[in-house]
Amino acid sequence: MPPTTALRCIGQMTEAGLFERIEDDSDRRRAFIALTEKAADAMARYFAELGRNAGRLI
């Protein structure tokens, strides 16, 4: 994926409340991306459900 497309996707996910940007104090050109608590909870629910249904996937 081209960097401009990746940045657009990150921006959309940030606006949706799934990612949060954490500015790097030592290099203002850089920012870190982290999952929000909302996204982490959704991922945990997804993997828990996937685990419960793993037998059906085989």
Domain count, the chain: 1
Instruction: Look up the pTM and report it.
Output: 0.69
Structural domain of 42: 3-57
Q: What is the CATH number of the domain that holds 27?
A: 1.10.10.10
- pLDDT, tens digit, 9 for 90 and up, residues 36-53: 999 999 999 999 988 887
Burial pattern 8-43, b for ≥16 Cβ within 10 A else e, equals eeeeebeeeebbbeeeeeeeeeeeeeeeeeebeeee
Q: Using CA atoms, how far apart are residues 5 and 27, in angstroms rounded to an integer?
A: 23
> pLDDT per residue over 17-41, tens digit each?
999 999 999 998 999 999 999 999 9
Predicted confidence at residue 51, as pLDDT, reads: 83
State both tokens at 49.
């459900």
Contact (Cβ atoms closer than 8 angstroms) between residue 30 and residue 24: yes
